[in-house]
Structure formats: C-alpha cells, structure tokens
C-alpha cells in the first residue's frame, strides 16, 4: 500500500509504476483530455497504491493557475468573522477554489504583511475586510492581478468590488428606532475605535442622527481587551452609577450588550420600560439569554456568500472591469429590550 519513502513521490514514480508516460498520468490525475479507460484504470491504481499526492507547487507554476482565494480578516476570535468564512465556504465548496485565511489583529501593518504574503502565492482572488487600508496595501490590491472584494462595509471607495452594509446607515437606523420609542437620555458603550472603522461609522451615524433631533449622547465609555461579557457588565454598572437617569444604552456589539443586560436584570431594572438596550451584530450565540437583546444583524453570512460568488464568477468571465458594489440591508431586531414605537 505504501512504502516509507523519504523523498515525496512524483508523477514520474507513478509513470514508472504504471508504465504510462508522465503526460498521460498527469491527464488522468486531472481528468483532462481523452484517456482510454484501460490506461486510466492502470494509472489510478498505481497512484493510489503508491499514495501519490500531486505537487501543487509545480502544478501551479506550470499552469500559472492557483485555486486559492486569499481571505483577510481582522480576527478569528470575533465570532463575526467565522460566520463570514462560513458564507465564503458555502459558495466556494461548489467550485474548485479554496479559501485561505489570514488575520490582521486590526493592525494595518499586519494587514500589509499578510496581504503581501498571500499575494506572493498568486491567489485567484482576494476577499478582504474593510475599505480602509494603508497606501501600500491599496497599491498591492490594485496590482494584484486578480479580483479583489472588500467586505463588511460600503461606506468608502473600493479598489475593485465591494460587498457589505452601510454602518453609518445602521447607526442612523438604530438611533431613529430609539428616538421613535421615546428614549431621550442615551448612553453609549463600545470598543476604542481608532482602528475599528466600522464601529466608528456606526457611532457617527448614530450621534449625527441624534444631533438632528437635538439630542446628545449623555454618557459614553470605551474599552479594549478582556472578556466582552464582563466588560459590558462593568461598564454598565459604572455608567449607571455615574449617570443614573439614562433611559437607553447602545452597545457597539452584542457581547457587551449581553453583559449589560445581565447586570441590569440582576439589579432589578425594568427593561425595556425604565431602560432600553440595543447591541449590534445579531450574534446567534446569544440566543438563550433571559431576554433577547435588540440588535441589528450585519448580514455576515450573506456577505461571505456574495463576495465568494463574485470571485467565482470572475474566474471564467472575461475582464468585467466595473467596480461592483453590493449593499446589503441590515434588519433591526427589537428583541425584548427596545420598545416598539
């Protein structure tokens, strides 16, 4: 079945074992070109019994084709991104393309490094989170020589294609729902945002809409690191102590929102009567909390699917060449923590 060789096997080994030319062996192994059933069987038997694994490096070099799609995201720990990846896989599994994931930890320099590294494998496509990149990264993307899809966000200028939601609009929509429900003393909690552009845009959309209604955020707090659930709890306690008359808390993500929710429930606060609550993302993980937190889903899985579909379609298609922008619409979920107007 196998012999413990040190040198990896090559086409030549299969060729010799089967008495068929390398070229024909190659054809069989790739199901390309016409090969008689007889030789096909011989070759497959030989390949299997030797335990031959083709060398894609050589194959890629010779064919100038790599079936890899570079996927670059900020972090795998964030819940959000595995869902995007799932969407990408949904679509790519039906093709010969394979996603390869790299993460940037929200650091532009690391993004640059990861991007460079991945491009040096000459992928068939790039899917990258966000529209904000260093100049060097943008240059690389522009030169990549393959389709590039920027995802999650549409508020900005894509290099090539783009699939996402408008976070500004999402912030605005949430503000509108909150105002309509009659809340007026609003607190905000979120991550420190210098590098989380999407959170920043939501915040901007949110505050701008409040401002138009003549309302300012009454209190706010930012965190970084640590367990989000615990942070949400702590920040909420601190903020309610500092500003006891708040009637609404808007969290930049569901995890800290859940922490706040648990804290307030224990404190016996009437939700959503005395205080309303909302998060962002629609994290399914949290189904099962005592109350369903109001939230807005970010269409994560669909974003992944659409992005992958764009890459897949462009493989065969001629150079399409218009910047394709797909804006998805997040839906507001009132849950049990935001009064309906």
Name the site residues for DNA (rule: CB under 7 A). 7-8, 10-12, 20-24, 26-27, 29-30, 32-36, 38-39, 54-55, 58-59, 61-65
Give the single-character DSSP code of 28: H
Give every strand in the sheet of 98-103, ordered side by side: 98-103, 68-73, 125-129, 148-153, 161-165, 325-327
Given 122, 184, 185, 301, the residue binding its own copies (CB under 8 A): 122
Token pair, residue 276, equals 């309303």
Decide if residue 320 touches its own copies (CB under 8 A): no
In whole angstroms, how close is the CB of 25 to DNA at the nearest point?
8
Given 16, 82, 219, 327, the residue binding its own copies (CB under 8 A): 82
Q: Quick count: other Cβ atoms within 10 Å of Cβ 221?
A: 16
Token pair, residue 87, equals 């969407």
Q: Quick count: other Cβ atoms within 10 Å of Cβ 323?
A: 11
Distance between first and last Cα of the chain: 71
Select 196 or 234, whichever has its Cβ closest to its own copies.
Answer: 234
Partner touching 140 among its own copies, DNA, none, CB below 5 to 8 Å by kind: its own copies
In whole angstroms, how close is the CB of 100 to its own copies at the nearest point?
6
Select 23 or 107, whichever has its Cβ closest to DNA.
Answer: 23
Q: Which of these, 144, 135, 97, lies nearest to 116 by C-alpha position?
A: 144
Listed ranges 38-46, 191-199, 201-209, 256-264: which one lies at the site for its own copies (CB under 8 A): 256-264
Partner touching 82 among its own copies, DNA, none, CB below 5 to 8 Å by kind: its own copies
Within its chain, how far is the Cα of 251 from the centroid?
20
Percent helix / strand / coil, the chain, rounded to 5: 45, 15, 40
Decide if residue 140 touches its own copies (CB under 8 A): yes
Partner touching 31 among its own copies, DNA, none, CB below 5 to 8 Å by kind: none
The DSSP result for 119-187, as a single string, is HTT--SEEEEE-S---HHHHHHHHHSSS-EEEEEE-SS--SSEEEEE-HHHHHHHHHHHHHHTT--SEE
In whole angstroms, how close is the CB of 31 to its own copies at the nearest point?
15
Listed ranges 18-26, 113-121, 155-163, 217-225: which one lies at the site for its own copies (CB under 8 A): 113-121
In this structure, the strands spanning 161-165 and 186-191 are: unpaired
> Binding residues for its own copies, per CB under 8 A?
1-2, 4-8, 51, 53-58, 60-61, 66, 76-77, 82-83, 85-86, 98, 100-101, 116-117, 119-122, 139-140, 142-143, 145, 227-233, 255, 258-259, 262, 266, 284-290
């Amino acid at each position: 079945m196998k012999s413990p060789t040190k040198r990896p096997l090559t086409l030549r080994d299969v060729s010799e074992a089967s008495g068929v030319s390398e070229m024909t062996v190659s054809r069989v192994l790739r199901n390309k070109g016409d090969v008689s059933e007889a030789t096909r069987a011989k070759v497959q038997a030989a390949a299997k019994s030797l335990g031959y694994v083709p060398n894609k490096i050589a194959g890629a070099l010779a064919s100038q084709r790599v079936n890899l799609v570079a996927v670059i995201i900020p972090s795998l720990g964030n819940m959000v991104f595995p869902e995007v990846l799932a969407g990408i896989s949904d679509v790519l599994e039906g093709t010969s393309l394979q996603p390869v994931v790299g993460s940037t930890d929200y650091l532009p320099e690391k993004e640059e490094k990861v991007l460079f590294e991945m491009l040096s494998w000459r992928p068939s496509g790039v899917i990258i989170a966000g529209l904000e990149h260093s100049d060097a990264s943008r240059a690389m993307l522009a030169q990549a020589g393959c389709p590039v899809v920027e995802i999650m966000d549409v508020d900005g200028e894509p290099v090539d294609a783009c699939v996402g939601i408008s976070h500004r609009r999402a912030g605005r929509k949430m503000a509108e729902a909150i105002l309509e429900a009659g809340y007026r003393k609003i607190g905000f909690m979120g991550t420190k945002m210098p590098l989380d552009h999407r959170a920043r845009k939501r915040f901007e959309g949110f505050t701008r809409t409040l401002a138009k209604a003549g309302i300012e955020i009454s209190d706010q707090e930012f965190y970084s690191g640590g367990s989000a659930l615990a942070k949400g709890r702590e920040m909420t306690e601190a903020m309610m102590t500092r500003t006891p008359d708040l009637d609404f808390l808007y969290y930049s993500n569901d995890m800290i929102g859940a922490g706040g929710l648990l804290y307030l429930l224990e404190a016996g606060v009437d939700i959503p009567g005395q205080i309303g609550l909302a998060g962002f993302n629609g994290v399914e993980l949290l189904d099962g909390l005592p109350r369903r937190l109001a939230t807005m889903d970010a269409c994560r899985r669909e974003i992944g699917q659409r992005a992958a579909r764009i890459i897949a379609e462009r493989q065969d298609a001629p150079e399409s060449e218009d910047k394709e922008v797909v804006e998805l619409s997040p839906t507001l979920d009132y849950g049990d923590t935001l009064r309906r107007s």
